[in-house]
Amino acid sequence: MNDEVGFDLTGKVALVIGAGETGVAIAQALGTAGAQLVLADSARGPLESAAEVLGSLGFKPDCRMADPSVKDQALWLVETIKVDYGKIDILVNAREHYVRGPAAEMGLDDWQKAVHINIKGVFYACQAVGKQMLLQGSGSIINLSSVAGMLGIAQTVAFAASKGSVDQLTRTLGVEWFPRGVRVNAIAAWNDGMREEDGPLRVMIEKSPAGRMTKPNELAGTAVYLASRASSSVTGQIVYVDGGYTAQ
């Protein structure tokens, strides 16, 4: 890695929460840049699959089962990482829940699940890891947002509202914690969680400069940038990786 530019993450401890495709793609990129990987998820199956994929690429992620949307589990996760590594340099919140349906028919369970995972999970992880980073005087937090956090997209009310909250959480923490050495940013993707077969999305895809949705590995370079000292003055920002859709 080019250390003069500042992308080298050798010696950094990176906690990636979410063992889906996006989490794995970002973890792979952070590992390639030299970071020690800690991968967390609330479900054993995805965690084992992610470990197998990363293992086949030559990485040895430290996998831990935890649901950060439960505050005690978020605190436990941070404490165990502190015991084993003494610090956390990077946090990536890549776990999310996508729910689609008419707003007038949205059930309470669907709404609460989106809030539980996409807002509470992100906040509790930021809070628990942020406390440790503030003690260290350094750290980078990267949240996974969505174009739905800014745009009005039919039949995504719970997902969109939760991602809008993630955007404001990111901006607020990014401003509040930067003077103490901790940066908080978000990557707003138009990714595979928002399924291409959804009617409203087909129209958006046709209008997109890219003509398709964002692939998980296309977020990885941005994550490395935001995790590294190359972005030392970047905080509170929502970086759109969406094939130019929001720019038009």
Query: Is the pLDDT reported for residue 25 higher than 80?
Result: yes
The percent of residues above 70 in pLDDT, for the chain, comes to 94
- Residue 76 domain-assigned (yes or no): yes
Domain of residue 150 covers: 13-247
Domain count, the chain: 1
**What pTM value is reported for the model?**
0.94
- Residue 8 domain-assigned (yes or no): no
Query: Is the pLDDT reported for residue 2 higher than 60?
Result: no
Q: Determine the average pLDDT of the residues in 80-92.
A: 98
- Residue 3 domain-assigned (yes or no): no
The band of 244, judged by pLDDT with boundaries at 50, 70 and 90, is confident
Q: What torsion do the CA atoms of 106, 243, 94, 31 make, to the nearest 10 degrees?
A: 170
User: Sheet holding 139-146: strands in order across?
Assistant: 62-65, 36-41, 13-17, 90-93, 139-146, 182-189, 238-241
Which pLDDT score, from 0 to 100, does residue 205 have? 77
Structure tokens at 174: 């990014």
- Residue 1 domain-assigned (yes or no): no
- Residue 113 domain-assigned (yes or no): yes
CATH number for 191: 3.40.50.720
